[in-house]
Structure 1
Amino acid sequence: MAKKAAGRPAKYWLFKSEADCYSIDHLAKEKNQTTFWDGVRNYQARNMLRDDVQPGDGVLFYHSNSDPLAVAGICEVVRAGYPDHTAFDKSAQHYDAKSSPDNPTWYMVDLKLVKKFEQQVTRDQLKAEPALDKMVVLQKGSRLSIMPVTAEEWKTVCRLGGVKLPM
């Protein structure tokens, strides 16, 4: 998990998903427990998917708009950013008429489930941990669906989730 990727140290991320839309349990049922992460429609998050998120990077899978708000487990990026094909499909929920295969606006990556936490790490638990006081997801006004996580934050959340590192 989180090996050196493409000549650079692996990075860490938090990806948000509404649990009733696509939860870690959905991912666990996918073939090879792998999926594409589509539907991101924010330019800053798009830029991270397109330019920064790379194979080998670690991802905290965060259930947003759910009760409780929580990190449900960890994933690994297995494919770097590529055009989000759902933007081209008129029948898709995330269709965007301004995006095309020749000039894509939106990007996605592929993720593989590494470990579902036996006990989700709630937002309240994250907020109570002094080592996470600067974690982007906990900052007021932080609404991005994809955000960077430091190596120390990654280790702390994994510890809270019962995962012993290195994996």
Structure 2
Amino acid sequence: MAHWLYKSEPFKWSWDAQVAAGAKGTFWDGVRNHAAKLNLLAMKRGDRGFFYHSNEGKEIVGIVEVIREAYPDPTAAPGEPWVVVDIKAVMPLKTPVPLATIKGEPRLADMALMKYSRLSVQPVTEAEWDLVCTMGGIDPKKAGGRG
């Protein structure tokens, strides 16, 4: 299983909106960056990811799961190469993990969130996953990691 981070501005799509989508989830659209598109294409059903509120809040607030692998983005213009995946909310973090806390943790210095801050869909390593889950008050094993 791979791990990811999905960035969303809460006024456009919040964690609460993701939770409200229920078990059917929603498609993750609007990705218009080729590196992020490659990340979407690499995702497999069952992969888990962090849900990150960008701009407002700037914190990891929950965990989502890929429930449908990449397919053409229904919001893209005809002929454009963009894709989406479907994700559903799995669980909130007990304690949101703010960007400032992540920046202050030396073991997360190489996290994609630090190096590619504008990338909307990012990979997360197993070590990063375990550490952020722990920082958020969640057992990494229960969150879909090795722990």
Whether these two folds match at TM > 0.5 is: yes
| 1:31 CA displacement | 3.4
Aligned mates of 1:122, 1:135 — CA distance in 2? 14
Give the Å deviation of 1:104: 4.6
Residue matched to 1:119:
95
Partner of 1:64: 54
CA distance in 1, matches of 2:30, 2:8: 10
Q: What amino acid maps onto 2:86 in structure 1?
A: D
Contact 2:22 2:88 in 1 (8 A): no
> Counterparts in 2 of 1:97-136, with a 5 A limit?
100=78, 103-136=79-112
Q: Distance in 2 between matches of 1:11 and 1:75?
A: 12
Contact 2:66 2:87 in 1 (8 A): yes
Residue among 22, 31, 34 paired with 2:25? 34
TM-score, normalised by the number of residues in structure 2: 0.90
1:12 equivalent in structure 2? 3
| Residue 83 in structure 1 maps to residue 72 in structure 2 | yes
- After superposition, the C-alpha distances for 1:112-152 in whole angstroms (9 at most, x for unaligned) are 1111113210001111222211111112x531101111000
> Does residue 1:73 correspond to 2:48, yes or no?
no
Residue 46 of structure 1 is matched in structure 2 by 37
Superposed CA RMSD: 1.4
Identical-residue share of aligned pairs (%): 41
Letter of the structure 1 residue corresponding to residue 97 of structure 2: V
CA 23–142 in structure 1, closer or farther in 2 if over 3 Å, else same: same
Q: Which of the two has higher C-alpha Rg?
A: 1
Gaps of 5+ in 1: 1-9, 88-95
1:147 aligns with 2:138: no
2:145 maps to none
One-letter amino acid matched to 1:149: V
Report the TM-score when normalising by structure 1. 0.80
Count of residue pairs the alignment pairs up? 142
Which aligned runs of 4 or more in structure 1 are off by greater than 6 angstroms? none
The equivalent of 1:163 in structure 2 is 138
Give the distance between the partners of 1:62 and 1:143, measured in 2 at CA. Answer: 12
Partner of 1:92: none
Letter in 1 for 2:117: S
